């Protein structure tokens, strides 16, 4: 009886370790995907023309904000306060980027 109980305890411990390993791998995968997405957005801002970036941001601003919020909610821990703060800063960053692009476009057309 003792050997079967010890065997089941080992199985439970192995499953817990596999779950923790899977959670860590998923966290790394999602953070890498988020990093690549942010790098591509930064590349889009710096390498493409201002008018092209403006039209992309104006057409897909809400979709971009939704995708970024969704990815951040997958990556960050489920703390409500932290999620609200990240939601605020993320929307602020997207709106600030849109404002900067509009400002650059206005300067481009003035000169």
**Cα torsion angle, 35, 39, 40, 42, sign:** positive
What does the pLDDT read at residue 16? 82
Nearest Cα to Cα of residue 75 among 109, 24, 111:
24
Q: What is the mean pLDDT of the chain?
A: 76
Task: Pick the closest to residue 63 from 78, 31, 84, 41 (CA basis).
Answer: 41
pLDDT in tens, 22-46: 778 778 877 887 788 778 777 777 7
Element (H, E) at 77: none
Asked if 84 and 110 touch (Cβ cutoff 8 Å), the reply is no
- How far apart are the two ends of the chain, measured CA to CA in Å? 86
Residue 49 DSSP symbol = -
- Looking at 26-68, which runs of residues are DSSP E strands? none
Inform me whether the pLDDT recorded for 85 exceeds 80.
Answer: yes
More confident residue, 95 or 79: 95
Q: What's the rounded Cα separation, in Å, for the pair 98 and 60? A: 11
Q: Which domain holds residue 9?
A: 2-110
Please count the structural domains in the chain.
1
CA pair distance 18, 67, nearest whole angstrom = 29
Q: With 60 as the cut, is the pLDDT of residue 1 above it? A: no
What mean pLDDT is predicted for residues 78-100? 79
């Amino acid at each position: 009886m003792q050997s079967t109980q010890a065997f089941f305890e080992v199985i439970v411990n192995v499953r817990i370790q596999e779950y923790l390993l899977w959670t860590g791998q998923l966290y790394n995968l999602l953070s890498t995907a988020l990093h690549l997405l942010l790098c591509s957005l930064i590349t889009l801002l710096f390498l493409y023309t201002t008018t092209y970036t403006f039209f992309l941001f104006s057409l897909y601003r809400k979709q971009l904000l939704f995708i970024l919020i969704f990815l951040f909610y997958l990556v960050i821990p489920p703390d409500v306060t932290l999620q609200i703060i990240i939601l605020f800063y993320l929307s602020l960053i997207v709106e600030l980027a849109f404002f900067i692009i509009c400002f650059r476009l206005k300067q481009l057309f003035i000169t």
